[in-house]
Amino acid sequence: MATKARERLLETAEELFYAEGIRAVGVERILAESGVGRASFYRHFASKDDLVVAVLQRRDEAWRAWLAERVDALGGEPLDVFNALAERFTRADFRGCAFINTMAETADTESGAYRVAAEHKERVTTYVAGLLAQNGHAAPDELARRFVLLMDGAIVTALRERTPAAANEACTLAAAMLTSDRP
Positions touching DNA (CB under 7 A) are 1-2, 4-6, 8, 25-29, 35-40, 42-44, 46-49
Q: At what angle do helices 140-161 and 98-105 cross, to 10 degrees?
A: 80
Question: Which option in DNA, its own copies, none does residue 29 bind, with CB closer than 5 to 8 A by kind?
Answer: DNA
Nearer to DNA, 35 or 75 (CB): 35
Q: Which is nearer to its own copies, 5 or 149 (CB)?
A: 149
Q: 92: helix, coil or strand?
A: coil
Segment contacting its own copies by CB under 8 A, of 7-15, 60-68, 82-90, 140-148: 140-148
What string marks each residue from 89 to 118 as x (binds its own copies by CB under 8 A) or -?
A: ------xx---xx-xxxxx-x-------xx
Nearer to its own copies, 44 or 48 (CB): 48
Please write down the long-range contacts of 102-106, taking CB distance under 8 Å and 24 or more positions apart.
102/22, 102/56, 105/21, 105/22, 105/23, 106/22
**Which partner, its own copies, DNA, none, binds residue 96 by CB below 5 to 8 Å per kind?**
its own copies
Rule CB under 8 A: say whether 86 interacts with its own copies: no
Residues 6+ apart with CB under 8 A from 76: 131, 134
Question: Cβ-count burial of 55 within 10 angstroms (0-12 exposed, 13-18 middle, 19+ buried)?
Answer: buried
Residue 107 DSSP class: -
CA distance 70 to 150: 18
By CB under 8 A, residue 145 contacts its own copies: yes
Query: Which partner in its own copies, DNA, none is near 100 (CB below 5 to 8 A by kind)?
Result: its own copies
Q: How far apart are CA 37 and CA 18, in angstroms?
A: 22
Residues for the chain: how many in total?
183
Q: Interface residues with its own copies (CB under 8 A)? A: 19-21, 23-24, 95-96, 100-101, 103-107, 109, 117-118, 121, 145-146, 148-154, 156-157, 159-160, 162, 166, 169-170, 172-173, 176-177, 180
